[in-house]
Structure 1
Amino acid sequence: MKISQSAFFASFASFGAFLVFTVFASSVFLDNASAQTKPTASKEKEQQSADCVPAGSWLAPGNGKISSTEVITRAAQRSVVLLGEMHDNPEHHRWQLQTLAGLHALRPGMVIGFEMFPRRVQKALDQWVAGELTESEFLAAADWNGVWSTDVNLYLPLFHFARMNRVPMVALNIDTRLRRAVAAKGFGGVPENEREGVMPPAAPSEAYLGYLLPIYGEHERGGKKRANAGRDDPDFVRFVEGQQLWDRAMAQAIQSAANRPGHPLVVGIMGSGHIKYGYGVPHQLKDLGITDIGTLLPWNSGTGCGKISAGMADAIFGTASPSVISHEPQRQRLGIRFEMAQDGGARVLQVEKGSIAEKSGLRDSDIIIEAAGASVKRMEDIVETVKRQAPGTWLPLKLKRGGDTIEIVAKFPALPG
């Protein structure tokens, strides 16, 4: 039986509405970032009030509205398609699933790469797709809570899509220890046999450095912002190297997948900051000889038009606010990215702006050694404690900050109404 492309894509336009997710996560520092020139004062008010990408519609930045059929058809002709996200936004994952379904219909020879998994758990991904593991066995074998501190319910529909259609899943990332080593010593300071096969990244463009500098300036060190840092600041240089290591590792894994027999379409699932303007993963892919790259991003409908500029992606899709359409109660969020410290405790990598963590006084580089009076020995100790926190309650945290041990209280607001 044959169906028209327009009818096919119309059917998938409503597919994501049937999926229900819960929200508990921390977001990666690049996902909220953007680099553009500030609009003129006369246009700023108009731009901030306009809804440039209404929910359910596509826009090609710099070229105007575009149909879903045209977006998917063009993307399916690429060698690689990168789909962005803010990790804790359920609507972004619904959009990814819808887009994967449309691409798979045109290019069933597909591989899906995930930023969320380091290479060391690739066997678990293979076993899951082959139907050899239950869901709980897969998550345990893939060390989900150890490698990605985000609610797995946001990602499970993507994993089940791959399994249902026997689409290979590829781990794109590297181990946290390598990222930490490069951030501390620089890429050249890490022995080659400890680099997990990652090659030296292509040099960043001046535009990318300009994009990263204000993001770096928002991070704290010693309790102070780094807003006055310059491009030659040694810490900023290491910050850039750490980001490029991540980009390069994912690009190499994507290149390897694209070179499989039959040259499948490789779809990369990753934070939007690795995709925007072609600065991150696309830049590294081009250095590796892959230039036929599609970039698609979700866009929070209602966000000011001044944040859209030509070149940020091939197309962006308007997503509705989760708070408007979600019928599931949101889980509590502390608002941090963290990793386990070598000497114990959870090291804070980033404190999200406006979060409970920021309001409570948590800072980058703090090490949480106790939560609710219990020692923090595993990632799950933080994740599960916050999940259990009832609205309107307080969570005592004991921290190491430099040479001091301090106590703070994270106050979770009561539910509205």
Structure 2
Amino acid sequence: MAGLALGLAALLGVPGLAATSACVPPGAWVEPTAAGPRALAVDDLLDRLARRPAVLLGERHDSAAHHQWQLATLAALQTRRPDLSLGLEMVPRRLQPVLDRWVAGELEERAFLEALDWPAIWGYDAELYLPILRFARDRRVPLLALNVERQLVRRVRAEGLAAVPASEREGVGRPAPASRAYQVQLHRLWQHHPFVPNSGQRRPGLEDPSFVRFVESQQLWDRAMAETIADRRRRHPGAPVVALIGNGHLAGGHGVPHQLQALGLGEAAWLLPWDAGLDCAVLQPGLATAVFGVVSPPPAGLKLGVYLETHAGRVEIHQVAPASLAERSGLRVGDRITAIDGQPVSSARQVIERLAAHPAGRPLGLRFERGGRSLVLQLALPGP
């Protein structure tokens, strides 16, 4: 699992998308308030953010526009605070020496990605992140590996946090309890996992043991990132930390911001990119310190309503958006896409390219594997 990548509307359970998004114009910063969205002056906002102990920049992992916004914001903050460091959700802590060598200029790009084993640790296209990583190297911005190993997160999801001895949690402490709002938010995502009943049965509620373990796995992830940020602040007092973290760990302040507050960093700011077309009803107080209007055409995968990861030549469905074509067609998290229109695929990029090139109005043949079985769907994709 590589973070929560669903868009804000799906993440927060808002039904449908608005035709326009006038509440956050492209290129504008907006603060969600009880009286409605309030436009912010960019220089004033950045000056104030530069005084925060931590600034968390959200993202949908597969959006080039989100990463471009992150880079522009990082550059503006680094001009104001040359002593800042940059935390990366996508890198587990054991690979901190690789990040140090990259910033020191000791690794060429290919060797750097190979040393990280990028496809194994993350799965999203490295090209989306390389401009930010190059910026950090060129400016000698310290990089921080924020996370724990996937295997630990999966173990907590399967067994529960209490079943994992403290000595086997990679140094991560017990997370602050999850708020009810965070549980509800996560429940909307959890219902689309393959192990949740969905064949006419009543879906399990918030007290279901499997869902409780799922929440604990998310909180472990949140806590690991928060502790790494807090530790950096202790070792370098006064130097801010900027971090790249998926929207799902930030929206509403329930994830990483909540854990930072429990660790004494309640002044952390979290910022979210706002895509054109999002329902303005999502823009509620507490959603974020501020949001920025980006112009981001949805990736071709969103025609299906899925987010994809690539692992060792395997293209796996990482998230299924509620009420999407994928959900209506029965696709599930963990399904492996093997061919589009009869042509084998071995990367998320290939799937996206095939979907983008597929002729409008013609059914799309999608072959996938589930539980060792090969299945085929004929799908009618929505138009542009």
Q: Output the TM-score relative to the length of structure 1.
A: 0.77
1:184 corresponds to which of 131, 143, 158 = 158
Where do 5+ consecutive residues of structure 2 fail to align?
none
Deviations 1:254-313 (A, max 9, x none): 111222235311001011111112110011111111122111111113422111101111
1:228 corresponds to which of 203, 211, 216 = 203
CA distance in 2, matches of 1:414, 1:31: 18
Deviations 1:85-113 (A, max 9, x none): 11111111111111001111111101100
Query: Do the aligned partners of residues 88 and 115 (structure 1) sit closer, same or farther apart at CA in structure 2, a change above 3 Å counting?
Result: same
Offset of residue 215 of structure 1 = 2.8
Matches within 5 A, 1:364-383: 364-366=333-335, 381-383=346-348
Query: Do the aligned partners of residues 237 and 171 (structure 1) sit closer, same or farther apart at CA in structure 2, a change above 3 Å counting?
Result: same
**1:363 is matched with which residue?**
332
**1:304 is matched with which residue?**
279
Offset of residue 412 of structure 1 = 10
1:174 corresponds to which of 145, 148, 169 = 148
2:32 corresponds to which of 49, 52, 61 = 61
Report the residue type matching 1:351 in the other structure. Answer: V
Offset of residue 211 of structure 1 = 2.5
1:241 corresponds to which of 205, 213, 216 = 216
Report the residue type matching 2:164 in the other structure. Answer: V
Report the residue type matching 2:241 in the other structure. Answer: V
Report the residue type matching 2:262 in the other structure. Answer: D
- The size of the alignment, in residue pairs, is 371
Contact residue 320 and residue 331 of structure 2 kept, 8 A: yes
Report the residue type matching 1:176 in the other structure. Answer: R
Offset of residue 175 of structure 1 = 0.9
Contact residue 351 and residue 362 of structure 1 kept, 8 A: yes
Query: Do the aligned partners of residues 222 and 278 (structure 1) sit closer, same or farther apart at CA in structure 2, a change above 3 Å counting?
Result: closer
1:51 aligns with 2:22: yes
Contact residue 4 and residue 249 of structure 2 kept, 8 A: no
Deviations 1:29-76 (A, max 9, x none): 5543454899xxxxx99x765510100111110161111112111110
Deviations 1:318-351 (A, max 9, x none): 111336xxxxx9799983455869xx97775533
**2:230 is matched with which residue?**
255
- Report which stretch shifted further, 308-317 or 203-212: 203-212
**1:288 is matched with which residue?**
263
Q: What SS does the aligned partner of 1:236 have?
A: helix
Report the residue type matching 2:25 in the other structure. Answer: P
**2:50 is matched with which residue?**
76
1:150 aligns with 2:114: no
CA distance in 2, matches of 1:74, 1:150: 32
Report the residue type matching 1:94 in the other structure. Answer: Q
Query: Do the aligned partners of residues 186 and 367 (structure 1) sit closer, same or farther apart at CA in structure 2, a change above 3 Å counting?
Result: farther
Same amino acid, percent of matched pairs: 40
Contact residue 23 and residue 280 of structure 2 kept, 8 A: yes
1:95 aligns with 2:69: yes
Contact residue 295 and residue 315 of structure 1 kept, 8 A: yes
Report the residue type matching 2:281 in the other structure. Answer: G
Higher gyration radius (CA): 1
Where do 5+ consecutive residues of structure 1 fail to align?
1-25, 39-43, 324-328
Provide the alpha-carbon RMSD of the alignment.
3.7
Contact residue 275 and residue 295 of structure 1 kept, 8 A: yes
Contact residue 332 and residue 389 of structure 1 kept, 8 A: no
Contact residue 59 and residue 66 of structure 1 kept, 8 A: yes
Deviations 1:373-409 (A, max 9, x none): xxx9xxx9444764775833977645242xx623325
Offset of residue 229 of structure 1 = 2.3
1:203 aligns with 2:177: yes
Contact residue 336 and residue 357 of structure 1 kept, 8 A: no
Q: What SS does the aligned partner of 1:259 have?
A: helix
